[in-house]
Amino acid sequence: MRIESRQEFEAAVAAARQQGADRRREVLVCCGTGCLANGAAAVAQEFATRIEADGLDATLALHAKKTGCHGFCERGPLVVVQPEGILYTKVKPKDVAEIIDKTVAKGEVIPRLLYKDPTDKKAIEHYADVPFYKHQVRVSMRNIGRIDPADLDDALAHGAYAGLARALFDLTPDQVIAEVEASGLRGRGGAGFATARKWKATRKAKGERKFVLCNGDEGDPGAFKDRSIMEGDPHAVIEGMAIGAYAVGAREGYIYVRDEYPLAVEHVNLALAKARERGLLGDNILGTGFSFDLRVSRGGGAFVCGESSALMRSIEGKVGEPRAKYVHASDRGLFDLPTVLNNVETWSDVGAILEHGGAWFAKWGTAKSKGTKAFSLVGKVKNTGLIELPMGTTLRHIIFDIGGGILKDRPFKAVQTGGPSGGCLPADKLDLPVDYEVLTANGSMMGSGGMIVMDDRTCMVDVARYFLKFLVEESCGKCIPCREGLKQMLHIFDDLVEGRGKPGDIERIERLSRGMQLGSLCELGKSAPNPVLSTLQHFRHEFEEHIDAKTCPAGMCRELTVYQIIEDPCTGCHLCTRVCPTAAIAGKPKQKHVIDPALCIACGACFDVCPEDAIRFLPKKHEGGGHAPAGH
């Protein structure tokens, strides 16, 4: 069982690949968190039950595999039939028998389960032909959706630990760092710091005891790529950390995981146990004399613990608060010892870089931002999910070619990147290439990979307010500029969306933002004004309308908006009455309906479902008459 030499490693890989080849047919069932929420566990169980009951593992060499997240969360549960590569979406347990009887046994396709392109409604049979997948290039997520994360042999068959084997058997620590430097890999957690530079500093630091850490405390609203990597391919993270430990001279490390990620914790712990059992972790790894082990540290759910020094304090059992950065972690990090901290995605890239070489990774991307980047694509976009593509890909390509465009074909308004530390970019920025420098130069940032798409029904003032509310709750409160600045700014935004905005509010927001950027202790406070300042830069007119006209151009601020039904277009279809949460709409079938302003909470649900454009929204001060804002 234990692998103790290069020959034994190669033999284990060959045996694992032969086992995979013996399974001539595979059904890959996505069991990532998104698909599990939609019933994937029951689908996987139904496949397993049917295969066992009918002896299909023997007669058809059929194997059902529970994989991690395939990425296409909008269409789950997902099932891929191999080797044909046929993709079925929104699969239910009752569909399993038909998939086996028709597709697996006879090669027939089931049209109703195929993905249909939202543009031309054309059904697409093969996984690789679906636009959401065919435009991607996967490195950090290379094995997610292909392997069973609980099966180490399956991971070995797909290349896991090949990079570690090359590092330990063929390269010195300095040569490993040279490969990472040649790749141009930068931190995928947001700051984009050069990975090799960080490793070099830690390797040169004095002291025999050193640590490598993995930041899996992914707290940005709308981001879930780190969770999906840990759930779907924990071995990629473990392998990367073992390579990093060899390079810098560490013998121990921690994977810091959000406590809200129970499946990730389960899969990582299982992978650690199996890696130790096989000699890929622990003492005398692969018989080379190098020893390194990992433990999982579960975070307490504090967003600030994604900050490096706060994360280390949390691991130490202290309150998760940041410290001043005049002392670098490479010299005094965890327990005041030399430490390397990288993000989940960064570590998962390392194994592939060592297996294929730094130049291989550097062939993608831009001059300063090499390789690929994973994103969580969410919001008002048709194809939400997890994607990975080369650095330098434009926002337009991501949102319209991969994402399929805006829901209900409404106008695009903005995309928010970088989470609470990022910014909102308008339509005239759609052709920007996504890389570290370009996003920063335009008032946003890469962040941990969240990408939230917004349509014309999004109030940009309220978007900025949402992130402020999030950060008020998540600020550790250690420094006054962040603690008090966020609260005072939120008070102003509450006034704006509730009709109490006044002249001078915009200037007050800008002064508070500058104070927080200059005086805050850590990046949470320094970057907190980014969503506010970027919305002010690109959507200042919306702020002015909230203040001067007491109106919300998007019709989303409830205290500023009233909805009315226009007589001529209204056909009395009753759709609006079905979605109204307060029963504020009344009317007989095929006759004009009426909204009771006393009951209406201005949620906009009726506006969004009306097929005749018979509903308009007006400023509340024009209630009972007047004209709708321009464009509505």
For the ranges 272-276, 455-459, 604-608, the maximum mean pLDDT occurs at 272-276
3-state class (DSSP) for residue 618: strand
- The confidence band for 630, taking pLDDT boundaries of 50, 70 and 90, is very low
Average pLDDT over residues 589-618: 90
Q: Is the peptide bond before 83 cis (omega within 30 degrees of 0)?
A: yes
Nearest to 488 by CA among 323, 499, 471, 527: 471
In this structure, the number of other CB atoms found within 10 A of the CB of residue 65 comes to 22
- Please give the structure tokens belonging to residue 219: 């707290």
The whole-number average pLDDT for the span 605-619 is 89
**Separation CA 384–CA 453 (nearest Å):** 10
* Best mean pLDDT range from 452-456, 476-480, 595-599: 452-456
* Buried/exposed code over 519-536 (b: 16+ C-beta within 10 A; e: otherwise): ebbbbbbbbbbbbbbbbb
Single-letter amino acid code for the residue at 444: S
Instruction: Give me the residues paired with residue 590 across strands.
Output: none
What is the average pLDDT across 266-287? Answer: 97
Rg (CA), the chain: 27
Q: What domains, with CATH codes, occur in the chain?
A: 25-82+86-125 (3.40.30.10), 152-362 (3.40.50.11540), 372-455 (3.10.20.600), 460-549 (1.20.1440.230), 561-622 (3.30.70.20)
Per-residue pLDDT, averaged over 169-189, amounts to 96
CB 30 within 8 A of CB 76: yes
CB atoms within 10 A of CB 538: 21
Mean pLDDT of the chain: 92
Sequence-separated (6 or more) residues with CB below 8 Å from residue 479: 519, 520, 521, 522, 525
Asked whether the predicted pLDDT for residue 216 surpasses 70, the reply is yes
Q: What is the pLDDT of residue 621?
A: 66
Selected residue with higher pLDDT from 628 and 262: 262
The answer to whether 118 touches 407, Cβ cutoff 8 Å, is no
pLDDT at position 632: 38
My answer on whether omega of the bond before 322 falls inside 30° of 0, hence cis, is: no
Q: Quick check: 166 and 180 in contact, CB under 8 A?
A: no
Please tell me the distance from the alpha carbon of residue 386 to that of residue 228, in angstroms, as a whole number. 8
Token duo for residue 202:
């830690």
Q: Looking at the DSSP assignment, which residues form a beta bridge with residue 87?
A: 80
Among candidate residues 181, 568, 190, the one with its CA nearest the CA of residue 375: 190
> In Å, what is the CA distance from 69 to each residue of 135, 141, 148, 369, 436?
17, 10, 11, 26, 26
Contacts of 120 (CB under 8 A, 6+ apart): none
540 pLDDT higher than 60: yes
β-sheet with 86-88: strand ranges across: 62-67, 25-30, 79-82, 86-88
Q: 219 or 9, which is more confident?
A: 9
Paired with 294 in beta bridges are 253
User: How high is the pLDDT of residue 625?
Assistant: 40
Q: How far apart are the first and last CA of the chain?
A: 68
Model confidence over 504-519: pLDDT tens digits?
999 999 999 999 999 9
What average pLDDT score do residues 612-622 get?
Answer: 81
Mean pLDDT for the stretch of residues 81-107: 95
Backbone angles phi, psi at 290, to 5 degrees: -85, 130
Residue 524 has pLDDT above 50, yes or no: yes
Half-sphere exposure at residue 475, Cβ-oriented, CA atoms within 13 angstroms: 25
Q: Inform me whether the pLDDT recorded for 585 exceeds 80.
A: yes
Can you list the alpha helix ranges (DSSP code H) found in 171-261?
A: 173-183, 195-204, 225-232, 234-248
Percent of the chain with pLDDT over 90: 76
Confidence (pLDDT) at 628 = 39
- Helix, strand, coil percent values for the chain (each to nearest 5): 45, 15, 40
How far is the CA of 349 from the CAs of 133, 240, 297, 339, in angstroms? Answer: 19, 7, 22, 19
Structure tokens at 628: 């709708």
Of residues 608 and 204, more confidence is placed in 204
Q: Please write the tens of the pLDDT for every residue from 400-435.
A: 999 999 998 999 999 999 888 889 999 999 999 999
Token output for 602: 């201005």
Q: Which residue has the higher pLDDT, 333 or 632?
A: 333
Is residue 377 within 8 A of residue 359, CB to CB? The reply is no
**DSSP element (H, E) containing 530:** helix 530-544
Give the CA dihedral 495, 499, 500, 502, nearest 10 degrees: 100
pLDDT tens figures, 294-323: 999 998 778 888 889 999 999 999 988 888
Q: Cα(481)–Cα(512) distance, rounded to whole angstroms?
A: 9
**626 has a pLDDT exceeding 60:** no
pLDDT at 591 over 50: yes
Long-range contacts of 470-474 (CB under 8 A, 24+ apart): 470/221, 470/303, 470/420, 471/303, 471/420, 471/524, 471/528, 474/219, 474/302, 474/303, 474/304, 474/420, 474/524
Q: Tell me the per-residue pLDDT of 12-71, one tens digit each, with 9 for 90 and over.
A: 999 999 998 888 899 999 999 999 999 999 999 999 999 999 999 888 889 999 999 999
pLDDT of residue 420: 84
pTM for the full predicted model: 0.92
Tell whether the model's pLDDT for residue 352 goes beyond 90.
yes
Stated length of the chain = 632
Per-residue pLDDT tens over the stretch 120-165: 789 999 999 999 999 999 999 999 999 999 999 999 999 999 999 9
Q: How confident is the model at residue 627 (pLDDT cuts 50, 70, 90)?
A: very low
Q: Minimal CA–CA distance to 350: which of 184, 496, 191?
A: 184
Residue 517 identity: Q
Show the tokens assigned to 128. Answer: 């690789």
Q: Does position 329 have pLDDT exceeding 70, yes or no?
A: yes
**C-alpha distances in angstroms, 604 versus 456, 601, 629?**
13, 8, 15
